[in-house]
Amino acid sequence: MNKIETKNLNLYYGTFHALKGITMSVKANTVTALIGPSGCGKSTYLRLFNRMNDLIPGVKIEGDVLLDEKDIYNNKGMRIDELRKKVGMVFQKPNPFPKSIFENVAYGLRVNGMNHASFVEERVETSLKQAALWDEVKDKLKKSAFALSGGQQQRLCIARALAIEPSVLLMDEPASALDPISTAKIEDLIYELKNKYTIIIVTHNMQQAGRVSDKTAFFYLGDLIEYNDTNIIFTNPTDPNTQSYVTGRFG
Amino acid sequence: MTHLDVELKRLKDEIVEMFELVTQQMKKSQLAFIGFDREIAREVNFNEKRVNALELKIDKDCENIFALFNPVAIDLRFVLAVLKINSNLERIGDIADGISRYVIGTGNPFDKELIDITRVNEMFVMAVQMLSDVQKAFDSEDTKIARGIFQKDDLLDEINENANSVIENYIRSHEGNISQSLHIISAIRKLERTGDQVKNVAEEIIFFLEAKVLKHVSEK
């Protein structure tokens, strides 16, 4: 069964045709990397799955976007807040709230009405452990999240996303602002999280796509040029444009 | 041209130099062996150091490209292929050196009749021809030429297979030439292995250009 699927998906920003007839499916518990030059549509595609594009004026979406085989756009029973509980997101720059480490992770639980103290404490600990951050912060949970390093803040944001137990995690260049050690921790984390979550990651780092993903999709000018096993994309891609891009000879 | 392109071009130039050096070594070992020329044999022996040094240089350059440029797709296949071709060519260099050492270590010139009936010179000619063809295939990135190598190796195999009985008969009538006969059969074995090494190089060229693995495949 496909966890996520788009069928003949077209997206327009006003008159600009940003995604052109994208048909693609993602299996559960896999990591899929979206690659391509800036402006190719990969972040737009990523944001489809938690309906982040809805906030942009003039957006028009045609086609089907399915989560667990249910359409998330043409579905009157689908509430956006319910969707975003199932689909978490981590952004390029760490964006912790101006709150304590504990309250950052507890935030999603509280806004969803889960306030029971022992339940919240347990979920915060579990999420921080899943994000490989617990050992570093367990003695300073009441300190400001801003006291953490950039890499720790990003793992905190991952813990915050995990706290509401989504099944899909969207990551938009989650390590591009981090040093190599923090990047390695995030990549190891992605590898671990794959067991429980379906992950889609946008990255400009080809080696990172190679290291973390099972499948890679190459986008160019709004088209999905090639979607294949990552090892095929990086050893013997089918499309000449993919080969030019991954070998750094594009344009 | 990207920085990686410059490095790959440099690597290609080096491996072409290796092809030329090893082909020269094989041609000279033919001259030394068939013409029983110890001077040329010593030259081959001396130049073996250059082959070894170039092998190490190419290995190091491949290692640097892997570490610094993380090549992928056709670039990755090219560097992997060069690494293996380099190793095969170095072994052919060893073979040329080994054959030349027979000339240095033998007292008298080889009996011309023995040279003729064993067809060892034909093997030298074919080995040099195969080396030249495989270099051309690499240089011009032509898998058709690379595939042509596989048939040519058949001649080396055929001569090698017949060599035992030919030499056995010769020794029966020339008991004084046993030592020479053993050197000739050793050279024949080495030349047969040269064919195998050249075939390996051809397989690597096809892997680099077509991403097809032909190792251990009988129909090529």
Structure confidence at residue B220 (pLDDT): 66
Q: How far is A237 from chain B (nearest CA, A)?
A: 7
Cβ neighbours of A236 in B, within 8 Å: 73, 77, 211
Contact B2 A248 (CB under 8 A): yes
Give the pLDDT score at A74.
Answer: 87
Residue B107: per-residue pLDDT: 79
To which residue do tokens 């088209």 refer? A223
Looking at beta carbons, which residues of chain A come within 8 Å of B206? none
Report, as an integer, the average pLDDT of B132-154. 96
Test B72 with A235 for CB contact under 8 angstroms: yes
Asked if CATH classification 3.30.56.10 holds for the domain at B3-210, the reply, yes or no, is: no
**What would the mean pLDDT of B148-157 be, rounded to a whole number?**
94
pLDDT beyond 70 at B207: yes
Q: Determine, yes or no, domain membership for A231.
A: yes
B134 pLDDT band (50/70/90 cuts)? very high
How would residue B137 be classed by pLDDT, with cut points 50, 70 and 90?
A: very high
Q: How confident is the model at residue B16 (pLDDT cuts 50, 70, 90)?
A: very high
Q: Is residue A128 part of a domain?
A: no
Q: pLDDT (tens digit, 9 = 90+) per residue, B55-105?
A: 999 999 999 999 989 999 999 999 999 999 999 999 999 999 999 999 998
Domain count of the fold of chain A = 1
| A218 within some domain | yes
**CB-based contact A247 B70, cutoff 8 Å:** no
Q: What is the CATH number of the domain that holds A179?
A: 3.40.50.300
Per-residue pLDDT of chain A (251 residues; tens, 9 = 90+): 899 999 999 999 999 999 999 999 999 999 999 999 999 999 999 999 999 998 899 999 999 999 999 999 988 888 999 999 999 999 999 999 999 999 999 999 999 899 999 999 999 999 999 999 999 999 999 999 999 999 999 999 999 999 999 999 999 999 998 889 989 989 999 999 999 999 999 999 999 999 999 999 999 999 999 999 999 999 999 999 999 999 998 86
The domain ranges of chain B are 3-210
Question: What mean pLDDT comes out for the span B200-218?
Answer: 91
Nearest CA in chain A to B79: A235
Q: What is the interface size between A and B, counted as CB pairs within 8 Å?
A: 30
In angstroms, the Cα distances linking A37 to A219, A241, B97 are 8, 11, 52
Judging contacts by C-beta atoms under 8 Å, the chain A residues touching residue B75 are 247
Q: Identify the domain containing residue A175 by its residue range.
A: 2-73+80-95+167-246
